[in-house]
Amino acid sequence: MTSVAEKTTSSPGTEARPARTARSIAWARRAPLMPALIFMIIVTQLPFVATLVISFMDWNAYYPDEIGFAGFDNFKRVFTDVNMRDAVLTTIYLTAGVVIISLLLGLGIALLLDRKFSGRGFVRTMMIAPFLVVPVAAALLWKHALYNPEYGLFNGAITWVWKLFGSDNPPQPDWISNMPLWAVIFALVWQWTPFMMLILLAGLQGRPLDVVEAARIDGANSWQIFRSMTLPHLRQYLELGALLGSIYIVQNFDAVFTITSGGLGTANLPYTIYQIFYQAHDYGRASAAAVIVVLGTIIIATFALRTVSSLFKQEANR
């Protein structure tokens, strides 16, 4: 896929024109980009500058008379706060858990759906459904209709199966209290597996089949084909899924807010900052926490962007 861009930039003659025309051409080219760029800088970059400023201020909405310069106090409080450290760990567990499990499940299901069988389109449609439920609605559904220890579907199904075998004493675990973080992770895995599956399935279907065919004729078995041909081909799709999934799940608020309300050790960074700001009204501390999160994200995002960037160059050079 050679993009049009390369062809246009490498077209000869552009450099030979007089300077003024070249400059006006450059501006004519830039003009369509400007509205979007300026809009993004105002709406996304300015607030971060403001966050940075507020993070050095003593500012709690409950004490409006005590607004002033705080130096690094807010940062000290954030770094020494046990809740913040827990929130960082929770965010890592939650994101890694959801991304890895849904990527592996998605890969398995994509491989299953890459075969021809009757009702394939229908199974694919069924698989997509979880992703199309509004996240809050999905979290509510898991919390009340599935996990609930008294009338949830999980314990209901256990009762039903135990009755089938003549037992009147089925185990009725309280899923959310027993394994709060896993309860959130499973609900999110259910929603994100279809996402991973769709991307990987599209990758599988873009595989050059004649090469696979040739390998099969040469006597390669399915595992060998998967290991040495399918997996390398899927690498960029796996990376894309992991990257996009991480971007969204690191920021997850809906599931944590709905299923556990941040309790039982499930408060991740977005929820913790939301709480400091929305409930404690400690603007200075919330901003300091936000600044630290942004710095952490920049470090991680640099690596992620490098990955995308290398993929991107491969694509451009092809």
Partner 1 sequence: MSAVVASVPKKKDRGGPWLSLLAWVVGILFVLPVLWMVLTSFHSEEDAATNPPAVFAPLTLDGYREFFSGGASPWPPLLNSLTASVVSTILVLLLCFPAAYALSIKPVRKWTDVLFFFLSTKMLPIVAGLLPLYLFAQKAGLLDNIWLLIVFYTSMNLPIAVWMMRSFLSEVPVEMLEAASVDGAGLTKTLRSVIAPVVMPGIAATALICFIFSWNELLFARVLTATVAETAPVFLTSFVTSQGLFLAQLCAAAFVVSLPVLVAGFAAQDKLVQGLSLGSVK
Rounded to the nearest 5°, which phi and psi values hold at 69? -80, 135
By C-beta, is 4 or 82 nearer to partner 1? 4
Whether residue 145 contacts residue 154, with contact meaning beta carbons closer than 8 Å, is answered with no
**115 near partner 1, rule: CB under 8 A:** yes
Encoded tokens for 126: 């069924």
Give the span between the Cα atoms of 242 and 308, in whole angstroms: 11
Whether residue 252 contacts residue 270, with contact meaning beta carbons closer than 8 Å, is answered with yes
- Residue closest to 209 by CA, chosen among 196, 189, 225, 192: 225
By C-beta, is 97 or 282 nearer to partner 1? 282
Out of 17, 23, 24, 45, point to the residue binding partner 1 (CB under 8 A).
45
Out of 70, 84, 127, 234, point to the residue binding partner 1 (CB under 8 A).
127
Q: Which residues contact 202 (CB under 8 A, 6 or more apart)?
A: 237
**Residues of this chain, 59-98, that bind partner 1 according to CB under 8 A:** none
Choices 16-24, 72-80, 173-181, 194-202 (CB under 8 A): range interacting with partner 1: 194-202
CA-CA-CA-CA torsion for 297, 298, 303, 306, nearest 10 degrees? 130
Choices 15-23, 81-89, 149-157, 177-185 (CB under 8 A): range interacting with partner 1: 149-157
By C-beta, is 1 or 82 nearer to partner 1? 1
The 249-268 contact track toward partner 1, x by CB under 8 A, reads -xx-xx--xx--x-------
Choices 15-23, 24-32, 77-85, 175-183 (CB under 8 A): range interacting with partner 1: 24-32
Out of 33, 171, 218, 223, point to the residue binding partner 1 (CB under 8 A).
33
Whether residue 106 contacts residue 196, with contact meaning beta carbons closer than 8 Å, is answered with yes
Residue 239, exposed/middle/buried by CB under 10 A (0-12, 13-18, 19+)?
Answer: middle
**314 near partner 1, rule: CB under 8 A:** no
Choices 79-87, 96-104, 177-185, 293-301 (CB under 8 A): range interacting with partner 1: 293-301
Q: Shortest distance, CB of residue 82 to partner 1, whole angstroms?
A: 20
Out of 178, 213, 227, 310, point to the residue binding partner 1 (CB under 8 A).
213
Give the span between the Cα atoms of 137 and 86, in whole angstroms: 27
**107 near partner 1, rule: CB under 8 A:** no
Choices 70-78, 81-89, 96-104, 144-152 (CB under 8 A): range interacting with partner 1: 144-152
**Residues of this chain, 154-183, that bind partner 1 according to CB under 8 A:** 155-157, 159-160, 163
Integer CA distances (angstroms), 130 to 51, 202, 244, in order? 36, 18, 17
CA dihedral sign of residues 265, 269, 271, 276:
positive
Out of 70, 94, 198, 234, point to the residue binding partner 1 (CB under 8 A).
198
**126 near partner 1, rule: CB under 8 A:** yes
Q: In this structure, how many other beta carbons lie within 10 angstroms of the beta carbon of residue 87?
A: 24
**211 near partner 1, rule: CB under 8 A:** no
